[in-house]
Amino acid sequence: MMRLPFYLDCDTGIDDAMALAYLLASERVDLLGVGSVSGNISAAVGAANTLDLLALAGRDDIPVAVGAHDFLAHEFHGGATHVHGENGIGGVVLPHAQREMEKESAAEMIVRLAHAHPGELRIIAIGPLTNLALALRLDADLAALVHDVTIMGGAALVPGNVTRVAEANIHNDPEAAAEVLAADWFVTMVPLDATMESTIEADDRDVLEASNHPVARAIGAMLDTYFDFYVRFFGRRTSALHDPLAAAIAVGDLELGEAPVVHVEVDTTEGPGRGQTICELRYRFLGHPEQEGAHCRVVLSVVEPFTPKLMAAMLRL
Ligand code: BDR
Ligand code: CA
């Protein structure tokens, strides 16, 4: 099978770690580089977690660049340690990778890879969109060079997870999200509408912990912390599969359900709507009019269950 060139932008992060594992296991993916961004934890810690996970997977060949520490209009204030643990990966201590980060920034890495693979590079962004916005600012030709962008972020018809209306990745840097959605490239947005419907359960975690593979075992251990957080949402020890679902959709591994291509606007005001992704979904009442100029596919649902695919991927690493 022909491998396609991918760049991953992440804030590793427990579900980011699962997304990384999913991509490493895929025969369709040539992961050319990974950039970190502040979000769940600082960009520096997220990059170190990524480097260590890659080492554990035996993939020291994949370059890692540190990305933006602060957001476009606001400083980073410590992240979501109550969700992902103090070190971002549920307190799991990984063996330290024996290599350095790249000297370039994540934004520079995006621009370099896009030029090296014109029309081919697929970008997956599973943290705040700061690095992508900075890359767009670095190179006016970037959007035209990139094949497409898949983001985990937003909430279309469901509540937010950090405010009543905003999802964490978009809420961390709404200005960056607005720039990324305004750029002239095709974006697939995977919001909470889809990701809260895919869960990994306690018996899946047991299987991971019993695995021979160190990455699967580490993820199984991390999930204990993620379950601690999600028990209040679901009433049982489980967690949503935000980032790996976006990764699988980017690779083309899942049949999409309702996934209209529509206009999406990000609320960048300082009011209660800050970070909301306002999606033009009135076609539901008005029929299915074409939305001229729209280039954001909003994945509201997927058809098949994703967890078995994710489990299989993590176990065959
Ligand atoms: C998103 O926020 C982060 O905490 C997760 O890693 C995921 O990317 C979910 O809202
Ligand atoms: Ca993430």
In sequence order, the β-bridge partners of residue 187 are: 149, 296
pLDDT category at 166 given cuts 50, 70, 90 is very high
Mutate to test the pocket of ligand 1, among 83, 229, 243, 277 (most ligand atoms within 8 A of CB): 243
Instruction: Please compute the mean of the pLDDT values over residues 51-74 and round it to a whole number.
Output: 98
Q: Which residue has the tokens 């209209």?
A: 260
**Helix 307-315 × helix 14-25 angle, to 10°:** 70
Distance 169 CA to ligand 1 centre (A): 6
Residue 39 near residue 263, CB atoms below 8 Å: no
User: What pLDDT score does 210 carry?
Assistant: 97
pLDDT category at 206 given cuts 50, 70, 90 is very high
Q: Residues 219-237: pLDDT tens digits?
A: 999 999 999 999 998 999 9
Give residues with Cβ within 8 angstroms of 284, minimum separation 6: none
Q: Is the pLDDT of residue 252 over 80?
A: yes
Distance between CA atoms of residues 45 and 87, nearest Å: 7
Distance between CA atoms of residues 179 and 206, nearest Å: 41
Share of the chain above pLDDT 70, in %: 100
Q: Is the pLDDT of residue 76 over 80?
A: yes
Q: Into how many domains does the chain fold?
A: 1
Q: What are phi and psi of 273, to 5 degrees?
A: -90, 0
- The structure tokens listed for 37 are 């961004």
Q: Is the pLDDT of residue 258 over 90?
A: yes
Q: Is the pLDDT of residue 288 over 80?
A: no
What is the number of other CB atoms lying within 10 angstroms of the CB of residue 312? Answer: 11
Q: Which residue has the tokens 């299987």?
A: 207
Q: Is the pLDDT of residue 11 over 90?
A: yes
Instruction: Please compute the mean of the pLDDT values over residues 152-162 and round it to a whole number.
Output: 98
Q: Which residue has the tokens 């974006």?
A: 187
Instruction: Please compute the mean of the pLDDT values over residues 260-273 and round it to a whole number.
Output: 97
Instruction: Please compute the mean of the pLDDT values over residues 172-197 and round it to a whole number.
Output: 98
- Tell me what the pLDDT averaged over the chain comes to: 97
Mutate to test the pocket of ligand 1, among 173, 196, 242, 249 (most ligand atoms within 8 A of CB): 242
pLDDT category at 1 given cuts 50, 70, 90 is confident
In sequence order, the β-bridge partners of residue 279 are: 264
Helix (H/G/I), strand (E/B), else coil: 262? strand
Ligand nearest to the CA of 192: 1
Helix (H/G/I), strand (E/B), else coil: 149? strand
Share of the chain above pLDDT 90, in %: 97
What is the number of other CB atoms lying within 10 angstroms of the CB of residue 131? Answer: 32
pLDDT category at 310 given cuts 50, 70, 90 is very high
- The structure tokens listed for 311 are 């489990």
Q: Is the pLDDT of residue 131 over 80?
A: yes
- Work out which ligand 1 atom sits closest to the CA atom of 16: 6
Q: Is the pLDDT of residue 133 over 90?
A: yes
Q: Is the pLDDT of residue 286 over 90?
A: no
User: What pLDDT score does 287 carry?
Assistant: 81
| Secondary structure E strands in the chain | 4-10, 29-36, 64-65, 122-125, 148-152, 187-190, 199-201, 238-240, 261-262, 264-266, 277-279, 296-298
Residues labelled as active-site residues: 11, 242
> Which domain range does residue 91 map to?
4-314
Distance 33 CA to ligand 2 centre (A): 16
Instruction: Please compute the mean of the pLDDT values over residues 247-254 and round it to a whole number.
Output: 98
Distance 158 CA to ligand 1 centre (A): 15
Q: Write the CATH number for 142.
A: 3.90.245.10
Helix (H/G/I), strand (E/B), else coil: 24? helix
User: What pLDDT score does 111 carry?
Assistant: 98
**Helix 130-138 × helix 174-182 angle, to 10°:** 50
Distance between CA atoms of residues 134 and 120, nearest Å: 20
Q: Is 119 left (phi over 0), alpha (psi -120 to 50) or beta?
A: left
Residue 247 near residue 22, CB atoms below 8 Å: yes
pTM greater than 0.95: yes
Which residues have C-beta atoms less than 6 Å from ligand 1? 13, 15-16, 40, 80, 83, 126-127, 152, 161, 167-169, 242-243
Q: Is the pLDDT of residue 26 over 80?
A: yes
Distance 288 CA to ligand 1 centre (A): 31
pLDDT category at 313 given cuts 50, 70, 90 is very high
